[in-house]
Amino acid sequence: MKKIGILTSGGDAPGMNAAIRAVVRTALVNNIEVMGIYKGYLGLHEGEILPMDRSSVSDIIQKGGTILKTARFPEFADPKVREKAAQVLRVYGIEGLVVIGGDGSFLGAKGLSDLGIKTIGIPGTIDNDMAYTDRTIGFDTAQNTVIDAINKIRDTSSSHQRVSVVEVMGRNCGDLALYAGIAGGATTILVPEKKYSKDEIIKTVMDGKRHKKHHNLVVIAEGVGNSEEIAKEIEDVSGIETRTTVLGHIQRGGMPTAYDRILATRMGHRAVELLIEGKSARVIGTVKGDIVDYDIHEALSMTRPFNEKLYQIAMDLV
């Protein structure tokens, strides 16, 4: 392997830069050239490709976002578009490609591997919604961002004795709501994986009122439904002032935590090792703390079991 490419795709996640840095430096130390592909599959298709050296990745390990930029490029689902992208890689002499992104990005990587391009996927998404890995890069930072926001909301809400409804990211996966909800001391956590009853939420709030609780925190994953409507219903029935905060894109940004930087570094390093070993169509994950790799087809076909035990613990502590 003489030359590889690297791109970031889909939603950005803190720690992507640490992964880019690890890929570039591991490749260079093994005498492999690295080409940076800008704006994900869009930039690959358009040939937005530049060589990277050691200093291209200086001073980025602590930065959120992605220096390679990212893009949503739905056209990449079209086989003709992927064929053109594969041709661009051949023209540049890029023999192996590292793709950092979520499930959608891995579908693109699978498509390229079917065309004979050696591809390796690294999971980068704040949602932690990929079945084959315990953690994705960015999740740890995002949950800490949510906890930080919850702490601040709690200060003002308990002063006013309000109910706070906090909506966090997670369309199909409630991990961010669950983990940040537990760490933030939420009284109710609503996730897309579990049915919820409005009566139960109201009962928890009313119980809190009876026990003279100063503050009630309801954390909702965005995939559950309209948080404003849920807040209005709580206020109408309980008579307690209820405010909603939608955290939005703040959850994507910021300096990656030590955990995300180390995870990204280990995964980036492993990605290059796999390419040197001649592997293709593999995705890297972490299971019980170890760095592992799976066949991309197998990884994409897995479904993620919801952490029932953790959810139960959260419910028991209300």
| Residue 103 is assigned to a ligand binding site | yes
**Which one, of 27, 25, 24, 51, lies nearest residue 37 by Cα?**
51
Q: Which is nearer to ligand ATP, 125 or 204 (CB)?
A: 125
228 CA to centre of own chain = 25
Q: Give all strands of the β-sheet with 242-246 in edge-to-edge order.
A: 188-190, 216-221, 163-168, 242-246
Q: Which is nearer to ligand ATP, 104 or 208 (CB)?
A: 104
Q: Which is nearer to ligand ATP, 136 or 244 (CB)?
A: 136
What does R_g of the chain's alpha carbons equal in angstroms?
A: 22
111 binds ligand ATP, rule: CB under 6 A:
yes
Q: Which is nearer to ligand ATP, 125 or 187 (CB)?
A: 125
Binders of ligand ATP among 6-35, rule CB under 6 A? Answer: 9-11
The Cα 217–Cα 187 span in angstroms is: 5
94 CB contacts (<8 Å, ≥6 apart)? 3, 4, 5, 35, 49, 117
Among 67, 107, 246, 276, binds ligand ATP (CB under 6 A): 107
69 binds ligand ATP, rule: CB under 6 A:
no
Among 14, 15, 65, 101, binds ligand ATP (CB under 6 A): 101
**Which one, of 200, 252, 315, 255, lies nearest residue 64 by Cα?**
255
For the annotated catalytic residues, the residue numbers are: 127
170 binds ligand ATP, rule: CB under 6 A:
no
Contact 92, 3 (CB under 8 A): yes
3-state SS, residue 213: coil
Q: Which two tokens stand for residue 257?
A: 């935590």
The Cα 159–Cα 157 span in angstroms is: 5
Total number of residues that touch ligand ATP (CB under 6 A): 19
36 binds ligand ATP, rule: CB under 6 A:
no
The Cα 26–Cα 22 span in angstroms is: 6
Among 33, 48, 127, 235, binds ligand ATP (CB under 6 A): 127
Binding site residue list for ADP: 21-25, 154, 213-215
As annotated, the binding site includes 11, 21-25, 72-73, 102-105, 125-127, 154, 162, 169-171, 213-215, 222, 243, 249-252
Residues annotated as binding site for substrate? 125-127, 162, 169-171, 222, 243, 249-252
Residue ranges binding ligand ATP (CB under 6 A): 9-11, 41, 72-74, 76-77, 101-105, 107-108, 111, 125, 127
- Which residue ranges are tagged as binding site for ATP? 11, 72-73, 102-105
